[in-house]
Every structure is written in C-alpha cells, then in structure tokens.
Amino acid sequence: MDADNWTYRLQRALPVSSRALLLVNRHARQGQQGLVEAIDCLKKLGFDLIEESTEHPKHLYEVILRYQHEVDLVIVGGGDGTLNAAVDALVETQLPLGILPLGTANDLARTLKIPNSLSEACKVIAYGDLRRIDLGLVNGKYFFNVASLGLSVKITQRLTKEIKRRWGIFAYAATALQVILESRPFSAEIRINGQSFRGKTVQIAVGNGRYYGGGMAVAPDATIDDQRLDLYSLEIEHWWQIIPLLPAMRNGQHIHWPSVRALQGKEIEISTRKPRPINTDGEITTYTPAHFRVISRAIAVLVPPTEIS
C-alpha cells in the first residue's frame, strides 16, 4: 500500500479516538522489543490504549471478556498461537481484531497481507478496512489457519520457544526435516460430502486460511473467506517420497500430486484407530475423532485498505 493511500483514506474503519485493548505476548519472538515500538506508534496514531501483558496466552480469553465493554477493538501482538488463544473471546464479544505480527511464522498476517513492519501494521489498524473472515472449528475449538495431525504435530512438539527465538522461520524447515526422517504412515478415515475415504497417511491438514507452517499454502486458491475447508492427505509409503513435494507445498501445488488426496467441503470428519493429537494454528488443542466445520464470516479483522481509484 503506497503512502498516498494511507494519507488520503476516504473512510476510516474506526474513529481516531478508538480505545483499544493491547495484548502482547512477551514471549513471542519479537514480543518485548515490539511492545515498546507498538505502544509508541499506536499512541501517535490516536489510540487510547489499555495495555495488558500476556505472559500466559491461555489467559487471553478472560482478559478480553473483562474489558469487552470498555474498548472498541482488541489488538493482539504475537504469533499464530497467541492469536489462536484469543479467538474464542473474539467470537463471543464480536470485537474487531487488529494484528501486530510479532511471532515466528505469522501465517495469519501473511494470509491477510498485513506487513511485517510494526509501523506499517499499526497503520493497518488505524486506517485499514474491516473484513469479516471465516474460522475453522474442530471439536469445539476455533482456528484461523490450519488444523492438522501427523507430521505437523511432531514438528510442533519439537519446536521449543528457544529454537524458534534463535532460528526464526528457519526453525520450521530444520525441524521438519528431522521429523520427516522418522515418519511412519498411520491409518485414517475421512468422511466428507457424503463420501468416505480410508487409507494410510503421514499427514492430514484441514485449512481455513491460506498459509500455515511458516508460509506453506494449503491449496493454490485457498482464501480465508471462501466459506469452505481445504483438506489434503499425504498418502506416501516412504519418508523420502515427501522430499520432492516440499517445493510444491510453498504455493499449494502439492494437491495435484498422485500421492496427495485433496478434498473440499464445509464439514469433515476424521477418525483414527487410536486418538491422535491435532494441531490448531501451531498449538495442540484436541484429538481424533475430529469433527471439522467452517464458520462463515465469524469475526472482523482490520486489513490493508483496498486501492483508492
């Protein structure tokens, strides 16, 4: 977005004097440093801030509910896990969301084209458009990006805060390679659109948004407001068969490979022989058997303004 569009916005999504609840995960990769910069930037843009530290993201639900009648919007600074911790309260209160991408992957910000620059992200919150987006729901837990089981869960289990803080986005690639070497297929049944599919897989991912896992695309045409879920299942027999797939996964083209099952629908059920953990937006939150569905236009998010002609 060029300077003219920021300067000459014809309409504002929010009033200049908006009161905002600012929640920053200090443990996020850029959390502590980003907090100071974000506060200064947002105040200069005219926001009246209520600042709350989020040492434990699980407390975000309670904090948002506490201030729901005192603020016009909620600003969350952190990564996808921090945003996921806030999503239930955002659905319940229907407060608009502003995003400061302070995490490692920032896949939701990438999907919504929110800049990584904090000053630019603050401008999006001040001058951007309110856009209603879909959410995924699995076993009663909302998610923005992708819910998955298999390889991604093992990657999540090994990706410690220290590794992410030290290596940033490269931590995902290095950890993924380690996990792939140890991968073993498991049996699963997928039920969607009145059909049932059984097979062995190393990973099943169900996407609501476009990006996950540090910039991989769940499908080439996936968007976060298309009112559908995109599923893919990696049905390979040997670990080395995933290596040629990796470049295609950056833009979602992997769904066209013979060893990948790709499906779309509004509701999906997945069952496995034994309960398997499910990763939602980078956090393990539930287990199979799993019931997924899309919740259309569930919340409002501030995104970069559309071009002004």
224: domain CATH number is: 2.60.200.40
In a domain, 308, yes or no: no
Cα→Cα distances 213→9, 79, 145, 180, 279, Å:
34, 12, 9, 14, 11
Same domain assignment for residues 120 and 165: no
Q: Are residues 226 and 258 in the same domain?
A: yes
Q: What is the pLDDT of residue 4?
A: 46
Are residue 154 and residue 226 in the same domain, yes or no? yes
Asked whether residue 154 falls in the same domain as residue 121, the answer is no
Per-residue pLDDT at 25:
77
Asked if 272 and 260 count as a contact pair (C-beta separation under 8 A), the reply is no
Please tell me whether residues 104 and 131 are part of one structural domain: yes
Predicted pLDDT of residue 75: 97
Write the CATH number for 66: 3.40.50.10330
Whether residues 117 and 148 share a domain: the answer is: no
Tell me the angle at which helices 170-181 and 151-158 cross, rounded to the nearest 10 degrees.
Answer: 120
User: Are both 220 and 168 inside the same structural domain?
Assistant: yes
Each residue's pLDDT tens digit in the chain (309 positions)?
454 444 434 345 555 458 999 998 766 555 566 678 889 999 999 999 999 876 677 789 999 999 999 999 999 998 898 999 999 999 999 999 999 998 888 999 999 999 999 999 999 999 999 999 999 999 999 999 999 998 877 776 666 556 555 655 555 666 666 666 667 889 999 999 999 999 999 999 999 999 988 888 999 999 999 999 999 999 988 767 777 878 888 889 999 999 999 999 999 999 999 999 999 998 889 999 999 999 999 999 999 987 433
Look at residue 160 in the predicted model and tell me its pLDDT: 56
Q: What pLDDT, on the 0 to 100 scale, is given for residue 306?
A: 78
Domain count, the chain: 2
Q: 170 and 54: one domain?
A: no
pLDDT at 132: 97
pLDDT recorded at residue 18: 85
- Find the domain containing 234 and state its range: 141-294
The 3-state secondary structure of 244-304, one letter per residue? CHHHHHCCCHHHHCCCEEEEEECEEEEEECCCCEEEECCEEEEECCEEEEEEEEEEEEEEC
Give domain status of residue 12, yes or no: yes
Residues 130 and 152 occupy one common structural domain: no
Q: Report pLDDT for 8.
A: 37
Are residues 272 and 164 part of one domain? yes
Statement to judge: residues 12 and 124 lie in one domain: yes
Q: Check residue 198 and give its pLDDT.
A: 95
108 and 170 share one domain: no
**Residue 84: which of 222, 283, 299 has the closest Cα?**
283
